Each structure stands twice: as C-alpha cells, then as structure tokens.
Structure 1
Amino acid sequence: MAWPMYEYRGLLLPPVGHTAESLEFAQNFSVEDSDVFIVTYPKSGTTWMQEILPLVLNGGDLTPVHTVVNWDRVPWLEETRLAKIVDKLTSPRALVTHFPYSFMPPSFYTSKAKVINVIRNPKDVLVSSYYFHQMANFLEDPGSFDEFMDKFLEGRGQRLL
C-alpha cells in the first residue's frame, strides 16, 4: 500500500525522508563556493554519481567509499539526514538533489558551487521508474506499463526519490 505523498511547491515527495523541516532547512541551506552538487532527474544515475564523486574529490582514495554510507558521503539537500550530518562534511562538500533549478536555496545563486547535471535517455528513465514503482512499497502501484507511460508523458509521474 502506497503512503500518502507530501506535496511541496507542486512536487510530490515520499514522506520518508522529507518533512516540512527538511525542506525549510534546504531552502535556508548556506551553499559554499567549494560545494559540488549532483543534480539529477529521478532514476537517472544518481546513486552511481554518489559513488563516483567522492572518488574524484578524494583523488581516487577508496577509504570514504568503504567506510561511510553514500547518504552520509553525499547527502540529499532536501532530505532530513542533511541537518544531522552537515557539520561533519568536509570541504569540498558533495551534495545531491532532484530539485529543479528554481527550488535551490537562495545562497546557491550567488555562490560559485559546482554542478554536475546527469541526464539519461527519457526512455530508460521511464522503464527504470516503472520497475522502481513496482518494487517500492511507499509509491503507488504503477498499473500497466502503458498507463504508467501515459502518466510519465503527461508529467504526472515525477517523484523526488
């Protein structure tokens, strides 16, 4: 059974990891010039980038990858976890988000933070999203692939995951 989604500025988010407090924290987040953001549409390679970026930032050193879980190594801007660990992050901080550009905190626009924007073929995003919706018990049943594709093409299938 799907959980009721949390609506934030027109986007639907799963209530797991997203609260009014975490979204307010994201909007008030102080972006530093040395920050590096991974920005992706859902199901577009986010986790891969959460594994790759720390290696790049640490000169290929595997220690952080082997000793720190990825949601603490590269925390989500919009999720509750960031407020708990932000003080432990060292510069350059690696962060990840599914937020569109217009949802970024005001300090982002005046910073020199770097952005890695990952784009995936929409056909692959559709298929990956469909199977993810079948597996994730906190999301609504996707129905048939054709039904899901219609929602996806109409823009009714976007979730920040």
Structure 2
Amino acid sequence: MERVEKVDDLGNSIVFKRWRGRTFDRDTRGNVGDQLKMIESFRCRPDDVLLCTFPRSGTHWVYNMARMIQTKNLQYSGTPEMMEFQDMKIIDEMKSPRMFHTHLSYPFIPEEAKKGQLKIIYVLRNPKDAACSYYTFLSKVENTSYSGNMDGYLNAFLSEEFIGSGGSWFTHTKEWNNAMTTSQHLKILFLKYEDLKKNLYQNILRIATFLEVDHEESFLKKVEQAVGFDNLKKEHTTTAGESELWRHLGDNGRMPIYKKGVIGEWKNMLTVAQNERFDKVYKDKMSDLAGNIDLVYE
C-alpha cells in the first residue's frame, strides 16, 4: 500500500491510498489489503442488506429510507456502518436485520454477496452532480483529502488518480454495470438517484417489495414524509447525526451530508469549458455502455 499526496502547479492537493494499482480513500483502514481480505471473507446473513454507492450518490437518503422499511421504524438512523472504514468486528456483531454500506467497486464486495447470500441495493447518480456534490463536501470537512479549486479537482475526478474506493466514478460504474449484466446470482435492486427524486413513493414501494417486507401503503407514505430532504437535514443536526468514526472530519463526526439534494446543480458549478471537458472524457470512457446507462442531468 502506498499513501499518495499529489500537488499540482497551482497548489491543488489530493491525498489517497494506492493498492495494487487501485486508488482508495485515505481513511480506508490499515494497509487497505488486509481490510479488503476481511471484507471478501465476510460472513453474510440471509436478511442482510448491503447498500452500494459511489460517494455523493444519495447514500444517507437511501440508507435511511431502506432502514425504515427494513425495521418498520421511522427513526432516523444517521450514517451507515461502512465496510472499508469500520472495524469489521463491529459490523459482524450488529443485530439482525443488518444493513451496512460500501463505496467499494464491485470486485471488492464480499464473496458471499456475489453469490446471492444477501440483498444488494445499488444507487447510481449522474456523474456531474456526484462530482460537484463531492467537491462541496470535501471543501467543508476538516482534514480534507482534497484542497484546491474546481479545475484541479475536476482533473483528478476525470482520471483514475482520485479519492475512490477501488476506482474512479467511471471504473466504479462500469464494474457495477458489468456485474448486473453478467451475474446470474446477484440479488440486486438498481436505483437511480434521479428516479428517486422524480417519483419517491414508487421507489420506496420497490425497496419494500425487494426486501420482501410486508408494509401497508399508510406506513410507506409515512416513510416518504420522513425521508423528505428538510426532515433528514433537521434530524442530522441532532446527536443521531454524530459519528465517532468521523470525528476527525469535524463537528463531532457529523459530516456535511445534506447540501441541496437537487438534480442539475452542476450547471451552477461547472464552466462551459469544464463541462465540455467532462463530456469528452465521459464519451471516451463510457461510450460502450451508452445503451445500458440512461442518465438524467437536469
């Protein structure tokens, strides 16, 4: 494992870990390799749910709505336990029904998950909004992994030298897409952030059906209200939003999760030149998946 700190000519700085040619978040536990081995061999339970997202793709939003459905409880659950960052013993000892999360790209999830031993919820957000939201997030936390302007950040995001969980947004998305297309064993629900914004209740119903949880419409409507952006943002300001694991990022571990929660914020953050550069890289890297991924940008 190599800890990498890159500084460009304008002083923009990015820090990440590199393991076997792959990039990982600086806060991935230990030397990365040992943590990935423990994740690979993690023993799953039939009622487990693994939430998988690239950073800033609706993680906390979907986690809380799915957790409410799973537990039949409208209580705010805060931040999920994340496999690459947490002591795996803590996740192993969680009471059933468990729900935990990872930003990891598909090759690094538990082997039993790949064999269908648990249910997976995978959420995809358009990369421009994900990138811009992540930039804002990194600018608000202490001990940030990126310090600098948007242009330097975009250079990193569009490359493979980014604060990833096994790869860039492009690698992450292609590997998950390939897994969903080719694997016959995955028990997976594919959600799009933009679809959730467009029709939240129908997707809450999809989650309940996927989790095989019997809920009346009246309860699911309450879930819809409970996970409204303003409600979650308010709940996050309470002690329920705090996390000891993330205390080094500031505010007692309460991460700046809830920004605006809208589609198309990238139009207010990217210049015309930056957007054109983004489109070119996307076309170069993702053209072979154009028919499989229908993204909404506004």
TM-score w.r.t. the length of structure 2 is 0.45
Partner SS, residue 24 of structure 1: helix
Deviation at 1:46, TM superposition (A): 0.9
In the alignment, structure 2 segments of 5+ residues that lack a partner are 1-12, 166-245, 247-298
Runs of 4+ in 1 over 6 A off after TM superposition: none
Give the share of equivalent positions with the same residue, in percent: 23
> Which of 137, 146, 156 does residue 132 from structure 1 map onto?
137
Deviation at 1:70, TM superposition (A): 3.2
Aligned to 1:152: 157
> Which of 111, 114, 127 does residue 109 from structure 1 map onto?
114
1:23 is aligned to 2:36? yes
Partner SS, residue 122 of structure 2: strand
1:84 is aligned to 2:87? no
Contact 2:49–2:118 (CA<8 Å) still a contact in 1? yes
Aligned to 1:70: 78
Aligned to 1:13: 25
Alpha-carbon distance in 2 for matches of 1:121, 1:3: 23
Contact 1:40–1:97 (CA<8 Å) still a contact in 2? yes
Deviation at 1:30, TM superposition (A): 0.8
Alpha-carbon distance in 1 for matches of 2:159, 2:138: 17
Alpha-carbon distance in 1 for matches of 2:37, 2:81: 16
Q: Radius of gyration: which is bigger?
A: 2
Alpha-carbon distance in 1 for matches of 2:86, 2:105: 18
Partner SS, residue 102 of structure 1: helix
In the alignment, structure 1 segments of 5+ residues that lack a partner are none
Larger RCO (CA under 8 A, 6+ residues apart): 1
Q: When the two structures are aligned, how many residues end up with a matched partner?
A: 152
Partner SS, residue 43 of structure 2: coil
1:57 is aligned to 2:70? yes
Alpha-carbon distance in 2 for matches of 1:8, 1:31: 25
TM-score w.r.t. the length of structure 1 is 0.78
Aligned to 1:123: 128
What are the superposed Cα offsets for residues 54-92 of structure 1, whole Å, 9 maximum, x if unpaired? 101022x125x3xxx534xx321222244124223212x
Aligned to 2:184: none
Q: 1:41 to 1:85 in 2, by over 3 A?
A: closer
Partner SS, residue 120 of structure 2: strand
